[in-house]
Structure 1
Amino acid sequence: MKINKTLKTVLMSAVIMGTFTSCVKEDDWDTPEILCNNRFDAPTISMADFAAKAPATGTYKVPVDGPAVILDGYIVSSDESGNFYKTISFQDKPENPTVGLQIEVDKSSNYTDFPVGAHIRIKANGLVLGWDRGTKKIGSVDPTYAIGRIPGIILTRYLAGVCNGNNRLDVANLVPTKLTSLNDAKAEKYLNTLVSVDNVQFSKSEVDPTVKTFINYIAGVGQDTDRNLDDKVGGTAVIRNSGFSTFGAQLLPTKSGELTFVVSRYNTTWQMLIRGLSDINFTKDRFATGILGGTNITYTGSFSENFESYAVDASLFPKYLNYAAIGNRYWQIKTFSSNKYIQMSANAGSGSYQNLFMVPVDFTAANSLAFRVNVGFYNGDALKVYTTTNYTVGSDISTATLTDITSNFTIPKTPTSGYGVLAPAGTYNIPAAVTGNGFIVFKYEGANPGVTTTIQIDDIVVN
């Protein structure tokens, strides 16, 4: 009897295991759906109307014993990658939202219960609503903070998922609000909502000369870190990366493209938050920022430029590109002894400067290049001269191939105090192999502290 009983048990186990394993093929597990039940009744107020109850100062406490105050929303944040900490951001609709809010919770790994797009329902009775450090929040009454974190052990009293009819959590496909510029995102109506901006890249200083990581480290410990962004229409922003983010040690992407983020603000400082690296879709070449002029470019093989037609201090040259690749200084028109020229210097500045004066040339027709040059207060080489035949106007200079022709010219190394005089730098014979349209590039590279030499250029002649 004992043997039969044992055999029965073994056989039953085998059948059960066979049935179980037959559902799995090559470890191809489906992501388990989240079971749910509609804990709260239907909404009694729209999220927008509820958010409008927030006073300009102080907080509004939703009466504990008053009529039920219930609202719906959709999760836009995720703490899966560690970039959100004990906060959940949500908006009123999956697409074209009108309002966003943040709820403070004393609980982590919230993404496991409420993934991105989760349809949630909040019973706000007993909670407080208000502005706190720049953003509109819901949270618990707290003796120390204006809006406290809801203890994780009682979170289900206030927050629950909404079912989709099959006892599964309703998860919507969110459509980020598309904005033209990063600057457009800096508006209260977008706080705690999901947006996207195309033609965005990390600022030049973040990726050149060294590509930075998403966060800084001190003694091996990750720090909350801001990284600067630019867009193609002149907008700027920072993304704030948590010192606990799982992607913190990754290098910043060096290309450009579309960025999706949750709009956030700390006091008066706008700081955008990504949920993870999948929010960054940078697959296009970098574009240039800091270019002046270039509205009337003509490629020619014979011309001269003495700069006499420009006003003193002018930096806008329709026929040329004045390109501040790093820093905020440009080549400018200056005058001395009734003679005009262009000048660039890092003197009295701060930080690094890379500034390019780009002259369009038809290299097929051109034979030679000459110019006059002068330096002031020399303390290091600051000028290089290049040719390029594959630069596309509007793109980042890093996308072009530059040929260094500086050694064909004599660039003064004196005086170390005061200024010299403009003198011929020499003549460069353009090789027959260099053909097509392109640019002669006069590149100033300096820094303060560092090389602050002043460079002056005049009488550019191409024949």
Structure 2
Amino acid sequence: MKKYNSILKYMFVAAASLFVTTGCVHDDKYDQPNLDGYDCADKNGIVMPFADVKAKFQNATYVFPEDKTPNDESDDLYMVGYVSSTDETGNIYKTIYIQDALQNPTHGFTVSVDAVSTYTRYPQGSKVYIKLNGLAVGAYGSLVQLGMKTGAETSATAVSRIPEKMVAQHIFRSCTTRGNIVPKIMKLADMVPANDQYFGCLIQVDDVEFDARALCTTYAPNGVTVDKTIGEGWTGTKYAKTAVVRNSGFASFANQLLPSGNGKFVGIYSKFQSGNTTTYQLYVNKAEDLDMKKFPRLDGLTEGPCDFNPSSLTAKTVADIKQLAAGTTNWVQITGDYYLKAQVVANDETGNLYKYVYVEDATGGIRVNMNKTNLYLDSRFRLGKDVNIKLKNVYVRNVNGEVQIGALFNNNTQFGQIEEVEMYKYFFDTNTASRPVVPTEKTISQLTAADVGRWIKIKDVQFVDGDLGRTLTDGNAVTSRTLQDCTGNTVVLRTSGQASFGTVKPGAYEVKGGKGDVYAILSVFNGTYQLWITKLANIDFDAPRCDGSVYTPIPVVYSDDFAAGGFSADWTVKNVAGPQVWQTSNQGNGTNYYAMMNGNAGGAGNNIVNEDWLISKAVSLVGKAKAAVSFTTDVRYSGNALQVYATDNYTGDPATTTWTLLPATLDTNSNAFGDWVGSGNINLSAFLGKNVRIAFKYTSTTAAAATWEVDDFKIKAQ
């Protein structure tokens, strides 16, 4: 009965402490866990010090021997420690951190478990016995941790999580009264390899602050884990030492603003290593563990920057801002105490917009440039949100016909983006829910300069005939396609290859051949209107075309993406000159193989004269009314262009075969790998009723030898 009495005593004290607290309760503050019904146990096996357990890992996972005497715990192996973490707020996930003493610990440890809400069984401060028999010591990101070896691990050094049903068989809460973890005092400067033994310990770092990039942002976006930076010791231009605070978007405090002052940070000490780069990380147990309210900050900020008071400012409209740049091509600085309240109508969630958003009010829309990626994750720039923008000291400029908001850079000689470290000065969350974004409906012929920057809808448009069969983008750069209405008016659609619907290996999205409505931001470049979509559904054209026809993509009758590596019997490799030959490679693409030819023997000055052919099998076009071939290419280094041929009478010798040169669109960026370009549908009507072969001819000289890569090969016919 003794152990139950101690639990009851603990519960009474916990209840009493709650009774006398004030009535202010944060969303992330919970009642103390109710331990009724949970068994406790004190074990008498062989205790292994934390250091000895860690030492078992020697660049390979170590598995402790199974328990050979289940009914005799005297020979069982145990770690004994105190829980330093709590997952009650959800910021720590499927992990229990322990340390070897309630205060002044000498070691900490990370235990990986496939279980959540472990704080209800093992609350912070609990003494625990961890039975090591059958468990394994491995590493993730070079952080040594305890788990299990199941065979599902991705490397010889990794461990899997302890299955939920086995957690209680390996981790036992002691029957002693839960203690109070006293954080170990450290400095960020102490985060060096010599102190790695403290990983998993609860630590306290004083006189630190979140850097300016984090000011006026939340701990994390909903459902997304992000890194924030804290710093200590100001050198005049930067912090003397920094560390990463890793926050989960599933934490109960994720939507709270980060503290903007200086002060005390309490969290779990950890690290992650990728290659030769080690990142020291901290995990917040509970938001109230952070006491960072002091001003001035180390960087000189004298007061909290996140409060927005419109009573001291003059409201301006988008039209007012645009008028400031009227009649000049130079930038104009806004010097008045003005602000703009506008709705975010387009952001960078899919990557088609990059480092800018569009906002709109009743008078118009405007582009706002910021030197930060993934703006859509910031609560201020979620689609449909109203944002307050302080305008004093920002700049506006007419950029090729479009007025934009931004800042100066390069010693104030160029107009561009507001730096991330400056964003807290200008952008303020209205703390209101997102509203539906309502497009302005226009026809192509109705578009005017006043519509630039607006989210618009144009009904009943289609891609022009010349774009049918092409992919939405060619390569990783921005590609133009043309939309037309049923009276022949046209407008340009601009799409980035970096977008989620751009040129993504393997393959890319082929344009829809039907008719429909387009939803997009209207931009302009030197007098030419341009549309920018934010998701693929913005151009979902499913109705018949303007002439009543239903476009059907040409069916693929033969394809090869070389995914298995090596060439099948469908391909003939012919070497005419030089030692190199066509081969397949997956370099830089994981398991995705492609055809590759390179006439360089390794290094500058080692270019070799080559002529090499890669020839497809014969594909029948008998009985077909139309046919085309398509593929993607990537080039690196200077050299001759790849040539693409077709024939219906291959002799077995390229020199004696009659070839037809095909007008293929090829990659032209020889400065980088990875910018794959689609060839488009290359017409094969000259070979209808015949058996056609496609050939890729590579040539190089002693002066230049490019590397050419080919993938996603398709012959289409119907």
1:284 to 294, 298, 309: 294
1:45 to 40, 44, 47: 47
* Alignment map for 1:220-369 (pairs within 5 Å): 221-232=222-233, 234-267=240-273, 268-289=278-299
Per the TM alignment, residue 290 of structure 1 is displaced from its structure 2 partner at its CA by 8.5
Write the deviation string for residues 387-414 of structure 1: whole angstroms up to 9, x where unpaired. xxxxxxxxxxxxxxxxxxxxxxxxxxxx
Per the TM alignment, residue 34 of structure 1 is displaced from its structure 2 partner at its CA by 5.1
For 2:224, the aligned partner's letter is Q
Give the secondary structure class of the aligned counterpart of 2:246.
strand
Write the deviation string for residues 80-132 of structure 1: whole angstroms up to 9, x where unpaired. 00001111010111111111111111111000011111100011101001222
Per the TM alignment, residue 162 of structure 1 is displaced from its structure 2 partner at its CA by 0.9
* Residue in 2 that maps onto 1:176: 183
Per the TM alignment, residue 184 of structure 1 is displaced from its structure 2 partner at its CA by 1.6
* Residue in 2 that maps onto 1:193: 201
Change (3 A) 1:189 1:446: farther
1:451 to 370, 391, 408: 408
Quick one: distance in 1 between partners of 2:299 and 2:205? 16
For 1:182, the aligned partner's letter is L
Change (3 A) 1:44 1:252: same
Change (3 A) 1:122 1:446: farther
Quick one: distance in 2 between partners of 1:75 and 1:193? 9
Write the deviation string for residues 343-366 of structure 1: whole angstroms up to 9, x where unpaired. xxxxxxxxxxxxxxxxxxxxxxxx
For 1:174, the aligned partner's letter is I
> What TM-score results when the alignment is normalised by the length of structure 2?
0.35
Per the TM alignment, residue 449 of structure 1 is displaced from its structure 2 partner at its CA by 7.2
Quick one: distance in 2 between partners of 1:45 and 1:64? 16
Query: Is 1:60 paired with 2:62?
Result: yes
Structure 2, unaligned stretches of length 5 or more?
Answer: 1-14, 21-30, 69-74, 235-239, 302-329, 337-392, 397-404, 414-718
For 2:287, the aligned partner's letter is L
**2:209–2:260 Cα contact (<8 Å) kept:** yes
**2:35–2:121 Cα contact (<8 Å) kept:** no
* Residue in 1 that maps onto 2:435: none
* Residue in 2 that maps onto 1:3: none
How many residue pairs are counted as aligned between the two chains?
A: 277
Per the TM alignment, residue 151 of structure 1 is displaced from its structure 2 partner at its CA by 1.3
For 1:152, the aligned partner's letter is E
> What TM-score results when the alignment is normalised by the length of structure 1?
0.54
**2:243–2:279 Cα contact (<8 Å) kept:** no
Quick one: distance in 1 between partners of 2:300 and 2:62? 46
Quick one: distance in 1 between partners of 2:395 and 2:181? 47
Quick one: distance in 2 between partners of 1:288 and 1:172? 35
Quick one: distance in 2 between partners of 1:56 and 1:290? 46
Quick one: distance in 2 between partners of 1:273 and 1:139? 20
Per the TM alignment, residue 446 of structure 1 is displaced from its structure 2 partner at its CA by 8.7
* Residue in 2 that maps onto 1:212: 217
Write the deviation string for residues 109-160 of structure 1: whole angstroms up to 9, x where unpaired. 0000111111000111010012222211111122112211111112121110
Per the TM alignment, residue 225 of structure 1 is displaced from its structure 2 partner at its CA by 1.0
Change (3 A) 1:63 1:230: same
Per the TM alignment, residue 43 of structure 1 is displaced from its structure 2 partner at its CA by 4.8
Give the secondary structure class of the aligned counterpart of 2:189.
helix
Change (3 A) 1:204 1:36: same
**2:86–2:285 Cα contact (<8 Å) kept:** yes
Per the TM alignment, residue 37 of structure 1 is displaced from its structure 2 partner at its CA by 5.5
Change (3 A) 1:37 1:249: closer
1:107 to 115, 122, 130: 115
**1:382–1:451 Cα contact (<8 Å) kept:** no
* Residue in 2 that maps onto 1:9: none
**1:201–1:286 Cα contact (<8 Å) kept:** no
Write the deviation string for residues 272-328 of structure 1: whole angstroms up to 9, x where unpaired. 10101112111311423389xxxxxxxxxxxxxxxxxxxxxxxxxxxxxxxxxxxxx
Change (3 A) 1:455 1:60: closer
Per the TM alignment, residue 379 of structure 1 is displaced from its structure 2 partner at its CA by 4.6
Per the TM alignment, residue 41 of structure 1 is displaced from its structure 2 partner at its CA by 2.6
* Residue in 2 that maps onto 1:89: 97
**1:215–1:242 Cα contact (<8 Å) kept:** yes
* Residue in 2 that maps onto 1:152: 164
Per the TM alignment, residue 185 of structure 1 is displaced from its structure 2 partner at its CA by 3.1
Give the secondary structure class of the aligned counterpart of 1:82.
coil
Change (3 A) 1:289 1:154: same
Structure 1, unaligned stretches of length 5 or more?
Answer: 1-23, 165-169, 292-377, 385-443, 457-463
Give the secondary structure class of the aligned counterpart of 2:259.
coil
* Residue in 2 that maps onto 1:353: none
2:84 to 76, 85, 104: 76
Higher relative contact order (CA 8 A, sep 6+): 1
**1:43–1:72 Cα contact (<8 Å) kept:** no
* Alignment map for 1:330-409 (pairs within 5 Å): 379-381=331-333
Quick one: distance in 2 between partners of 1:70 and 1:287? 46
Quick one: distance in 2 between partners of 1:50 and 1:255? 41
Taking every aligned residue pair, what percent have the same amino acid on both sides?
28
Give the secondary structure class of the aligned counterpart of 1:271.
strand
Give the secondary structure class of the aligned counterpart of 1:222.
coil
* Residue in 1 that maps onto 2:466: none
Per the TM alignment, residue 227 of structure 1 is displaced from its structure 2 partner at its CA by 1.1
Give the secondary structure class of the aligned counterpart of 1:235.
strand
1:142 to 150, 153, 157: 150
Change (3 A) 1:36 1:43: farther
Quick one: distance in 1 between partners of 2:331 and 2:58? 56
Give the secondary structure class of the aligned counterpart of 1:51.
helix
For 1:236, the aligned partner's letter is T
